[in-house]
Amino acid sequence: MEIKSKHFFFLFAILFMGAGTLQSKVDEQVKYHLVRLDDMGMCHSVNMAIKQIIETGIPVSTSVMFACPWYQEAVEILKQHPEVSVGIHLTLNAEWKNYRWGPIIGREAASSLVDENGYFLPARSILFSRNPEVPQIEQELRAQIERAMGSGLNIDYVDYHMGAAVETLELRGIVEDLAAEHGLAMVYYLGEKSSSATYFPTFDAKLDSLISNVNAIGPGINLQVVHVALDTAEMRALEDLNTFGLKEMSKHRVSELNAIISPRFRKALKANKIKSITYADLIKMVGLENMSRPELE
């Protein structure tokens, strides 16, 4: 499929330059570990959990949902912690029963992206089954990026909530254009090997799964994606409307939190001589000019 891009050089680089074609400062013998905390700004419970992790001093990156009601609290927290690498968690869906969010550009401008109440649809499969208008998606993604860039935070990268923003090659090209326009990296374009070692295991198995993953890490950029929250009444009331959504999500999220802040995790990193980095560090090592589109399934 041909992709028409407004930023030809950027697309030329990511489509035709293999990783390492240009000078990279990634040491191929070093084991790097990158913790990315997703969904900041979604709600107060998520923000407080991420704040707790940040205050441990662990190097982390966090992806903020600037379309969600609690993003302003996230911004306030992150302004106090410039050491955290911040990304934009682009969102086109709102998956929680009785807790929804909608487009920044408004329901009329995003009419093909919303339900009858003006909220994003709960699943990307539902969204794309309705043939959403691509110009509306582009306008909304741009609005989310511009809100982030105007927040006063230093923004390093773009990320994609549940993958909806890069569902098709056409949309991927649009996000590539927007990232290039704003000088941002894109997740999975920097050579990361991703793991969800803490997401699917049972509540009491998440820490052991995380430690096993750390012990098995080899040289290269190893990304651990984490979804945390406090086990509060707010989180306990949330139910994922996706058919694959985990039950008792608040318990899953607080268990992920406990795994990441566990001394065992930090001891495992040290014992395996693993270097903890953030996306800001990774961007400096790889260089935006070295980004490479990941292989698509």
Contact in structure between 33 and 59 (CB atoms under 8 Å): no
Report DSSP state, residue 170.
Answer: H
User: For the chain, what is the radius of gyration of the CA atoms?
Assistant: 19
Q: What is the DSSP string of 268-290?
A: HHHHTTEEEE-HHHHHHHH-GGG
Q: Which CATH class is domain 27-290?
A: alpha beta
Higher-pLDDT residue of 248, 52: 52
The backbone torsions φ and ψ at residue 216, rounded to the nearest 5 degrees and listed phi first, read: -95, 0
pLDDT at position 196 is 79
Higher-pLDDT residue of 269, 21: 269
Q: Which of 5-14, 30-39, 180-189, 202-211 bottoms out in mean pLDDT, i.e. has the lowest?
A: 5-14
pLDDT tens digit sequence for 226-252: 999 999 999 999 999 988 888 899 999
Contact in structure between 192 and 163 (CB atoms under 8 Å): no
pLDDT at 17 over 50: no
pLDDT at position 245 is 80
Contact in structure between 40 and 46 (CB atoms under 8 Å): yes
Say what percent of the chain tops pLDDT 90. 85
- End-to-end CA separation in angstroms for the chain: 14
**pTM of the model as a whole:** 0.92
User: Torsion over CA of 155, 32, 166 and 106, rounded to 10 degrees?
Assistant: -30
Who's near 255: CB < 8 A, 6+ residues apart? 198, 203, 204, 206, 207
Residues of 185-208 as b/e, b for ≥16 C-beta within 10 angstroms? bbbbbbbbeebebbbebeeeebbe
pLDDT at position 189 is 97
Alpha helices in the chain (DSSP H): 8-16, 44-54, 71-79, 124-129, 134-149, 169-182, 206-215, 233-236, 249-260, 263-271, 279-286
pLDDT at position 197 is 83
What does the alpha-carbon distance between residue 249 and residue 255 come to, in Å, rounded to a whole number? 10
Q: Which of 123-137, 141-155, 192-206, 279-293 bottoms out in mean pLDDT, i.e. has the lowest?
A: 192-206
Contact in structure between 133 and 108 (CB atoms under 8 Å): no
What does the alpha-carbon distance between residue 136 and residue 72 come to, in Å, rounded to a whole number? 24
pLDDT at position 195 is 81
Q: Tell me the pairing of strands 274-277 and 220-226.
A: unpaired
What does the alpha-carbon distance between residue 130 and residue 138 come to, in Å, rounded to a whole number? 16
Could you tell me how many helices (H) and strands (E) the chain has, helices first?
11, 8
Tokens 């609690």: give the residue: 70
